Amino acid sequence: MKLVYSDLIFQKMPKLIIEKGSEFDDEAIKKLPDQIRKRQIELLRKTIETGEFSNELIEHYKIVESRQCLTIYGASLGRWIIVSIFATSYISAFILERGYFELIMRIATKEKGSMSKRISSISFLTEDEKKDIKALWENLCSWAHPHMKWVKEICPIFESYIPQYHYHKLLFEKCIDSLERLVDFFLIISLKKYEIRPKDFKRYVNTECLSELNLSLFRKYFTL
């Protein structure tokens, strides 16, 4: 059931975010130099007066917009993770989970640089939480390289089986564990970044499914 509940969250969240979420990234706005902020105000006033959008204003909008459209892509990516797990294609699931992690980070921060630096820039997380998220990232990365996890954990299992017909309990559980952690990370980043209110969340997402998932960050930072 965890796969089904995860898919429900993946599919319901984009509609909630687009209809009720903030279109602008408050954290990005706060970090803008005064000169750029003043220029944005000038451009907005000019647009109000003329009714025309300049290319410069569009470029400024990209700096402060909250990237809501990424959540739509995330719904499709999340479903392919679940399909891969059902199909016992564990390598595919891990690699797709890595891609989903990168998508979450695109939503979470506009900080540039290494993944470690970008995770460190998420201001509301504690140092221990950032450490756990970095460990999740490193684990998912290790599955993307054939000479690491594949050789050590996949090849010995599958060398005498046809992968698409072989269920393996340990690898299945590892996929589910990392998937739950991704769902938890996605939820809290989305709810914080898009300023989603609890009453709106309950209208769009069946909260019964949350009780079946290990969502420690969600339960710490978001009260229904």
User: Does the pLDDT of residue 48 top 80, yes or no?
Assistant: no
CA distances to 85, 116, 126, 134, 157 from 193, in Å: 29, 19, 16, 19, 41
For residue 179, tell me if it sits in a domain: yes
Distance CA 161, CA 165 (A): 8
For residue 43, tell me if it sits in a domain: no
Give the dihedral of Cα atoms 138, 140, 143, 145; nearest 10 deg: -50
User: Does the pLDDT of residue 153 top 90, yes or no?
Assistant: no
Number of helices and strands (H, E) in the chain?
Answer: 12, 0
Residue 88 pLDDT: 85
For residue 45, tell me if it sits in a domain: no
Residue 137 pLDDT: 95
User: Does the pLDDT of residue 157 top 80, yes or no?
Assistant: no
pTM of the model: 0.82
For residue 50, tell me if it sits in a domain: no
Residue 168 pLDDT: 79
Both tokens of residue 32?
């803008």
For residue 92, tell me if it sits in a domain: yes
User: Does the pLDDT of residue 27 top 90, yes or no?
Assistant: no
For residue 41, tell me if it sits in a domain: no
Query: 48 or 111: whose pLDDT is higher?
Result: 111
For residue 206, tell me if it sits in a domain: yes
Give the chain's mean pLDDT: 84
Both tokens of residue 168?
């393996």
For residue 35, tell me if it sits in a domain: no
Which domain, by its residues, includes 91? Answer: 2-23+66-221
Residue type for 72, please? I
Number of domains in the chain: 1
- Residue 123 DSSP one-character state: T
Q: Which of 165, 166, 168 has its CA nearest to residue 153? A: 168
